[in-house]
Amino acid sequence: MEKITGYSDKICGSPGEAISFKVSSPQRLSYQAELVRLRCADSSATGPGFKEFSLPAAFTGEHTGRRQRIGIGSFVKADNITAFDLKRVTLLSLIWPTLPKGKEQALMGTWDPKAKSGYGLFITKDGTLSFSIGNGSEPVFTIDSETPLQPRHWYLVAATYNDETGEANLHQIPQFQYAYSSDSITKSQIKKLSIRNNGFFRIASWEIDGIPKSCFNGKIERPRVSKQALRLSEIESLVNSETSSSLNADVVAAWDFGANNSSDILVDIGHHRLEARTYNLPTRAVRGSRWDGSQHSFTQAPSHYGAIHFHEDDLYDCGWDTDFQFEIPDGFPSGLYAAKLTMGEEEEYLPFYVRPPKGTARSRLALLIPTASYCAYANYHVGTEWVFSEQILNAFTVLDAEAQYLQHHADLGISSYDSHVDGSGCSYSSRLRPVLNMRPHTWAWQFAADTHIIDWLEQKNFDVDIFTDEDLHNEGFSLLEPYSCVMTGTHPEYYSRNMMNTLLAYQQRGGRFMYMGGNGFYWKIDYHKDFPGVIEVRRAEDGSRSWISEPGEYYHSFSGELGGLWRRNGLPPQAIAGIGFTAQGFDKSTFYERTDDSFDPRVEFIFKGIKAEEKIGDFGEMGGGAAGLEIDRADLQLGTPPHALVIASATNFSDGYHWVAEEHTHAHKAITGTTCPHVRADMVFYETPGGGAVFSTGSIAWSGALSSKNYNNNVSRITENVLRRFLDPTVF
C-alpha cells in the first residue's frame, strides 16, 4: 500500500536559505502541510513525551498530491546519440554476473524495450547470453547462447551484426575453466534486418519512460563498441586494448571503468572521446578480471580495478520535483523542525535542522547532530534481512509499520547495513530519498533518541546552536572555534577524517567536549565532494558489522583512503573521547556506580548533589537504565589519556551483551556481560591543553534517562553539572 511520503533537498539550512520539499502521494488527493518545531520526537509512553509546536509558514495549507516515481538501479548512459546509430556493430565487454537467473538483465546497447528497436546485449531470465536487434516494425531478431552463465565468474561476452550479410554472432567465453566445464560458446544466425536506433547508449539497464528497467546485477569491465562486425580474434584484441594508440578508427567507444573512481564521468580512451556518465552510484574501486591479490589499493594498481559493480537496488537521489519550499527567515532560532504532512488519517514528517548563519554563533554551546549515522542507517532492514538480528537483540523479531512498509517498497533503497539483492554489501547510502527511520514516532534510536538531548537542553534553559555532520565535515575547525562547549548526539558512529581531525583540534585548543553517547567515532566514512548527502563506508578487515567487504575492496572510491574502523586506521575512539566501543546488547540497560576516581578533587564539580552510594541511572526509557544498548570503555593502550579519570562504571550487564568482535583473537565463550570484564560502560573525564576538558558518558542509553522523574534525577544532574562548568570560562 502506498502512503504519502517525501524528503527535503537539505538536511540543514541557515536563515536566508530555502529548504525544498519533494512529496509523493498515492493519488491526486489534497493534503495539508504545516511547519512544526520538534522538541521531542519520541512518542513512547516511558519517555518525556512527544512535543511539537506549530509555526506560521508560507507553505501552510492545502496542496494537491501526486505520485512521484523512483528510478532505482544503477547504470551508465552516453549522451551522444548519433555516434551509436550503427548498422554494423560489435558490442563486447568482460562481465561478472552475480544473479544471472530470474529476470532479464541489460548489459549494453541502444535497445528500446518499449519500441522493440535498436540493438542490445542481454542476459535472459534463464541466465543465458542474448543479443537482439529490431526496428519496431518487423519481428525482433534474437540470438541466444542457450548456456547459462555461472554467477560470480568472469566472461568475455560479445555480439556482432553485419547488415549487408545479415549475419549475427554471439560469443560467451569463460575466463576461468573448470574440469568438465563447457568450452567457449559461439553462435551464429543470419537474418537481414534494418536497425532503428532512437535513444541513448546505455550500460547495465534499459529505460522505459525515464525509469531504469532490466537492471544488471554484477560487474562490467572494459566495454567496447565498434562500427564493424569483428572476428573473434579482433574482439579479443580489442578488449585488451588500453590506449588510444592501440585502437583503430572503427572503435566508436572504449570506456575505462577503472579511471576517475571518485567521479560519475567515465573516460573514453577511444579516438572520439565519447564520455559517459554513471547514475545512482554503482560501486566503484572494485576488483576487475585482472586482480591477482598482489595489490589491495586501486590507486596502486588501476588495471586491477577496471570494473564497476552495478545493482538493481542502487539509489542516490530520487530526483523528485519540488512541491513547496520554506525560506528560513532572518533571526530564525536554531533547532529541529519539520514539514508536517497530513492526508486523512496519515501523517508524515520531513525533518530538517536550522543552524546559525555561516561564520556566526548565537550561543556558547554547539550540539552536533550525527546525521552521517542517520545516513548510514537510512531505511535499514534489520528485522527482515539480517539473519543475526534476533541473536543481537536477544529477542524475537517484531516488525513495526515502518519495517513492513520498507519490505514492500524496495524502491526506497537500502542502508549501509544492508546487502544488495545480489549479496554484496552496500557501500553508499544517501539521504536524498524518503528515510522512514528519520521520523518522529520511531524507535528511540538515532534520530528520536537525539531529541531527548534537545528536549533536555530546552527544559534546562540552555541556549544551543545546532549543526549536522555535513556542516562539521565541510567547515572543519572554523565551525567549532566560537563555542565554549561542543556536545554530541547519542550515537556519532560514522566520522570522516576531517571530522575526527576537527574534534582533536578543538580539544587541543582549549575546547570543552561532551560525548553524550556510545559507539562513537567507530567507522571511517567519506563524503563525496560533488554529490551532497551521500556517504561511503567500506566494512574492511574487522569490526562488528552486518557484511564484510570483498578482499581487495577496502579502499574508499571517494578518497582512495583505506576504509574500515578508525581503530584500524590508527585513530581509535579513545583518542577522541577517552573511551571506545566495547560491547552491545539490547535486552535491558543497567546503572553506573561511582569509582574511587570520582572522589578526586578534579571532578568534585561533576558529583555535586550526588551521594557516594547512589546508583546512577537505574532508570530510563532505553531498557530501564542509563547504561546500555551500545557501550564504551576506557583503554590506555587504545588512546585513553593517562591522566583520564574513570569516574563511574556500569558492569551489571546480561548475557545479551557481547564483547565486540574486533577484539577477539580466537573463538571462546567468555564474551558476554556475565563473563567478560570488557563488557562495561566507563564514564570518563580529563583535561585538555589550553584549559579545556572532555566528559564522556559511554552509553547510548544515557539520554533516555535525562527526563526521568520530571528531569530531577542524578543522570540529569551530572549532565547539568558538567555542562554548566564547561560553559564557565574558568580554565581547568
- What pLDDT score does 97 carry? 98
Q: Residue range 228-233: average pLDDT?
A: 95
Interatomic CA distance for residues 126 and 128, integer angstroms: 6
Flag whether pLDDT at 400 surpasses 90: no
- What pLDDT score does 180 carry? 62
Q: Residue range 71-84: average pLDDT?
A: 92
Flag whether pLDDT at 339 surpasses 80: yes
| Nearest by Cα to 511 from 489, 541, 486, 535 | 486
Flag whether pLDDT at 181 surpasses 70: no
Q: What is the CA 569 to chain-centroid distance, rounded?
A: 20
- What pLDDT score does 389 carry? 66
Interatomic CA distance for residues 118 and 115, integer angstroms: 9
Neighbours of 68 (CB within 10 A): 16
- The tens digit of pLDDT for each residue in 447-461 reads 999 999 999 999 999
Q: What is the CA 299 to chain-centroid distance, rounded?
A: 23
444 band by pLDDT with thresholds 50, 70 and 90: confident
- What pLDDT score does 544 carry? 82
Q: Residue range 268-289: average pLDDT?
A: 95
- What pLDDT score does 163 carry? 92
- The tens digit of pLDDT for each residue in 296-306 reads 999 999 999 99
| Better pLDDT: 267 or 80 | 267
Following DSSP, what letter does each residue of 715-726 receive, concatenated? Answer: HHHHHHHHHHHH
Within the chain, all domains assigned CATH 3.40.50.880 are found at 353-727
Following DSSP, what letter does each residue of 310-345 receive, concatenated? Answer: E-TT--S---PPP-EEEEPPTTPPPEEEEEEEEETT
Q: Residue range 90-117: average pLDDT?
A: 97
Interatomic CA distance for residues 442 and 348, integer angstroms: 12
Neighbours of 242 (CB within 10 A): 16
- What pLDDT score does 179 carry? 60
- What pLDDT score does 341 carry? 98
- What pLDDT score does 669 carry? 66
- What pLDDT score does 386 carry? 67
pTM of the model: 0.95
| Nearest by Cα to 151 from 406, 528, 340, 422 | 422
Interatomic CA distance for residues 441 and 437, integer angstroms: 9
CA max distance for the chain: 94
Contacts of 400 (CB under 8 A, 6+ apart): 383, 443
242 band by pLDDT with thresholds 50, 70 and 90: confident
For residue 235, give the C-alpha cell.
574482439
- What pLDDT score does 488 carry? 98
- Strands 485-488, 365-369: pairing kind: parallel
For residue 623, give the C-alpha cell.
531498557
541 band by pLDDT with thresholds 50, 70 and 90: confident
Angle at 158 between CA 231 and CA 99, to 5 degrees: 160
Flag whether pLDDT at 636 surpasses 70: yes
- What pLDDT score does 184 carry? 83
- What pLDDT score does 212 carry? 97
Contact 625, 591 (CB under 8 A): yes
Mean pLDDT, all residues of the chain: 94
Residue tagged 561478472 (cell numbers): 96
| Better pLDDT: 27 or 9 | 9
Contacts of 711 (CB under 8 A, 6+ apart): 48, 456, 459, 460
Q: Which residues of 381-411 are buried (b: 16+ CB within 10 A; e: fewer)?
A: bbbebbeebeebbeeeeeeeebbebbeebbe
3-state class (DSSP) for residue 236: helix
Contact 335, 354 (CB under 8 A): yes
Q: Residue range 2-27: average pLDDT?
A: 95
How many residues are given for the chain?
732
CATH fold of 353-727: Rossmann fold (3.40.50)
| Better pLDDT: 664 or 423 | 423
Contact 220, 107 (CB under 8 A): yes
Within the chain, all domains assigned CATH 2.60.40 are found at 5-70+320-352
Q: What is the CA 247 to chain-centroid distance, rounded?
A: 39
Query: Domain 5-70+320-352 is in which class?
Result: mainly beta
Residue tagged 534476533 (cell numbers): 390
3-state class (DSSP) for residue 205: coil
Residue tagged 575505462 (cell numbers): 256
Architecture of the domain spanning 75-310: Sandwich (2.60)
Flag whether pLDDT at 384 surpasses 80: no
405 band by pLDDT with thresholds 50, 70 and 90: confident
Neighbours of 244 (CB within 10 A): 14
Contact 589, 629 (CB under 8 A): yes
| Nearest by Cα to 98 from 220, 217, 223, 221 | 217
Residue tagged 526506497 (cell numbers): 412
- What pLDDT score does 443 carry? 82
3-state class (DSSP) for residue 99: coil
Contact 513, 506 (CB under 8 A): yes
| Better pLDDT: 1 or 369 | 369
- What pLDDT score does 29 carry? 86
Flag whether pLDDT at 177 surpasses 80: no
Q: Residue range 311-334: average pLDDT?
A: 97
Say how many CA atoms lie within 13 Å of 586 toward its Cβ.
12
Interatomic CA distance for residues 36 and 280, integer angstroms: 32
| Nearest by Cα to 255 from 204, 215, 314 | 204
Within the chain, all domains assigned CATH 2.60.120.200 are found at 75-310
| Nearest by Cα to 105 from 126, 78, 83 | 126
Say how many CA atoms lie within 13 Å of 427 toward its Cβ.
30
3-state class (DSSP) for residue 144: strand
Q: What percent of the chain has pLDDT over 90?
A: 84
